[in-house]
Structure 1
């Protein structure tokens, strides 16, 4: 029996093992220590930001960033409807209201034209728009060339959900470096992992200091435990930071491998009517996950049918994120929609994209896709 082919499993090896062992032997096993501090410096340098704070998750980073820019109950925060639920959940944690906006068909990223319309409508209605959170879908940066001026004109700060896009760029500028703050995720399936973890980056030293303070239960700098604010247990452990430092050293190679996989998929589907690779023209994406979009009328089959075929062969696939406006938890929330996110959810399929995939696994996936296509 063959082993399952997973969507994006952790890619770890001897370097991560030795880094964790060194950290363990150092005695620094708490959410503080030299590897945490070094990991912060190294990520900030990679992204080109002045400051960083290592956290227990990307979700924690979004929550703290929103608090640090003074998002309050009753405020509105604009969130792409096509995203993982954490983006919207972080808004709710603050007591603010997420308002959803649809995406561009070519990339799945926030649609700047709809954003401009939504910002005008919200301001005309007297709502305080406290932030916009663009999301870099599947490792391709949103169109910050258009988004930044729109938000600047509306005087609305940007917090970038770069959970999926470490290593990507937009017009030569690193993912996560746009707006007031950027947030990365190092969850187990991300392009680099710390098992669980995240990082907030910013050029705003005061914002990062505020987030660091809140992430350590808002403890005052006195010899005893004193708290004048409600804080959170959001810091990253030193052991996990050691894993992250090793992963960061391998990031470019892991991106190159995922790019290679994307090119193989693109070549396979190039002659298949009605099938395209999402954001395939973005050569600056990190290729975290490769997603195909299927027009069933042109292809003669549906994305879910390919997913079912591969699943029967123990090959993991996944639909595109179910849009937030369709989630029961957010039923009835305000949204400006074009139908694009719903079509991508229905017609999209994410294929195995992990940098640790062996040549045997890659050949197996491609062979099974070809078998499926030959039967259509």
Structure 2
């Protein structure tokens, strides 16, 4: 029998999203801006608890425009999580700055505050120009913003948060997206909620929000003709995609709870398995549980992540190694950092499992039954 593939995290959309998008199309606001975009920005800002939100083409665009607005560029060094997707580091390189990789905390995979302090101390001793730090919320778990913010305050640098994976998560009761000087979030197709593509910049700084909004529409000056005194970008989120996002936002809590249910089930499946743990630690009450990943110690476990991945693949079930650290990527081979091997170990021994809110109960039972084939 031909099995239908089970993917990591497919978009969870239905009739509600269809109604919102159709309404936006029928309103005539098909061009990039419009009332749904205005409303979506206001609704996300209210959800996260920040004054300003700017809808953009991607989370990468949000990071890029924040860096541009702050004047970050050649000669600057930007400490950034090495355990992340390439987009985080790409935005830093777009402006000509040097990414400086900071390794991870063993339990969560998030940026280590201790290593960040070490990195900033080293860069200070080099008299490097360090305008901003970029930590990344890993798989829907917010970084330790208490400790990270304390370090950035001590060294007098801005904090740009990459919360692409953590919308709906919290840190000590405060929403992800509300920390630092600005935050980038993503609505890519596999994220906790989606606008197909898309992202948003969140900030309490009205000047930053206004400048990012201006840059995202080719930096046109407010005059009757086309006047430009800055280089701009075509980065604005469209009104139709914003309508899709508005529908998704009304369902965000339910989609998080669905993923949280899979997290609980995975913990039950792997409970008692020697050398196996769920990445993120025992306390995931503040996580949005975007993706669930396990880490398997090959010196203790009777099986490896490679063997589990092979069994899942044979059953047409998608799994994926956790992020390959950016300092191991060929495109980043000449870049520096403060590294202790943690992210490399998690990459070598970690595996991400199907976690989407659109996954059915029957599909999860298929995943669970396949995993059972390898357990001792």
TM-score higher than 0.5: yes
Q: The TM-score by the shorter chain falls in which range?
A: over 0.9
Q: Which runs of 5+ in 2 are unaligned?
A: none
Following the alignment from structure 1 to structure 2, what is the Cα–Cα distance between the partners of residues 244 and 307? 33
Question: RMSD in angstroms over aligned alpha carbons?
Answer: 0.7
Runs of 4+ with deviation above 4 angstroms? none
The aligned residue for residue 233 of structure 1 is 234
- 2:275 matched to 1:274? yes
Residue deviations 1:227-271 (CA, integer Å, cap 9, x gap): 111000000011100000000000000000000000000000011
Following the alignment from structure 1 to structure 2, what is the Cα–Cα distance between the partners of residues 370 and 195? 34
3-state SS in 1 of match to 2:93: helix
- 2:173 matched to 1:179? no
Q: How does 1:184-203 map to 2 (within 5 A)?
A: 184-203=185-204
Q: How does 1:1-376 map to 2 (within 5 A)?
A: 1-280=2-281, 281-374=283-376
TM-score, length of structure 2 as denominator length: 0.98
Q: CA deviation at 1:223?
A: 1.2
Q: CA deviation at 1:96?
A: 0.4
Size of the aligned set, in residue pairs, is: 374
Residue deviations 1:326-352 (CA, integer Å, cap 9, x gap): 000010211111100000100000000
Q: CA deviation at 1:373?
A: 1.7
3-state SS in 1 of match to 2:71: coil
Following the alignment from structure 1 to structure 2, what is the Cα–Cα distance between the partners of residues 186 and 305? 32
3-state SS in 1 of match to 2:131: strand
Q: CA deviation at 1:68?
A: 1.7
Residue deviations 1:48-83 (CA, integer Å, cap 9, x gap): 000000000000000011112221211000111100
TM-score, length of structure 1 as denominator length: 0.98
